[in-house]
Amino acid sequence: MIKKIYLLTLININVIDIKMNKKDIELIFKNFENTKGLPGTKMEYYLQDFKTYIEKLSSYKNISITHLSILPPLENGEGALNFLERYREIKVDSEIRSFYNQVGRIQLRWIHNEHPNYDSEKDRIFSTTPFNSSLIEQEMGDARYINIVHQEDFLQKKPFIHIDFKEEEGLSLFYFNYNHHFFGQMAHHVNLKKKCLEMYTGDDYFADCWPLKVDFPTYMYNLLELDDTTIEDAANA
């Protein structure tokens, strides 16, 4: 069971430093040391793997992690997902449920120091303060993002960003991961006829979109792929 103190502790954390270090990583993940998803799911150890990804990313000298925020699950998150299934009759994939059993929201922003829009003063500052969508709107393309919506947004208690122009195509899309301007975004559609959640990906603010061709865990682990080529690509405009 996630204790309420977790939420209070994380909200009070507001680390501002010149650059992220190992102590920052340990502080952020401190209250998630024994957190796991549903047993037997592919997402069971996702948060632990995400920490490994952050540790590797931070080891690159030419990378600045400017924002990292991890919020705990809703105190009654499992009940909220059950509510979605029971009263809206929408089946929630066990892998999505496994993810939200570990974490309520993840936000990450990082930038290559050789990117033409790198700001040596602003981009060397590290913060655990959650950022809002305006940061992404202003700086899209200047950095790399993982921005998984809060569990409440996912449950549409307070929808994050509704892609309303897609309603003409019979879709009511809500962003799930506002990852990057031209690639890697994902949204979900509540299909009331089929009684299920459908995941979509798209380009350029979903001007073009299509059903996600891989399963949810594959998509989520693709976000954590990291090698020298990925780092080199991040230096380009």
Q: Is the pLDDT of residue 2 over 60?
A: no
Predicted pLDDT of residue 157: 62
160 contacts 174 by C-beta, under 8 angstroms: yes
| H or E segment and range at residue 109 | strand 105-112
| Closest to 97 measured CA to CA, from 111, 112, 113, 79 | 79
Averaged pLDDT score across all residues of the chain: 80
| H or E segment and range at residue 231 | helix 228-233
* Least reliable range by pLDDT among 34-48, 65-79, 94-108, 222-236: 65-79
6 contacts 102 by C-beta, under 8 angstroms: no
* Burial (CB count within 10 angstroms: exposed 0-12, middle 13-18, buried 19+), residue 53: middle
Q: Is the pLDDT of residue 105 over 70?
A: yes
- 3-class secondary-structure state, position 153: helix
Predicted pLDDT of residue 5: 38
In the chain, where the domains are located: 4-231
Give the residue-averaged pLDDT of 120-144: 74
If one compares 19 and 179, the residue with the highest pLDDT of the two is 19
* Least reliable range by pLDDT among 3-12, 19-28, 219-228: 3-12
Q: Is the pLDDT of residue 47 over 70?
A: yes
Q: Is the pLDDT of residue 161 over 50?
A: yes
Predicted pLDDT of residue 65: 94
If one compares 210 and 79, the residue with the highest pLDDT of the two is 210
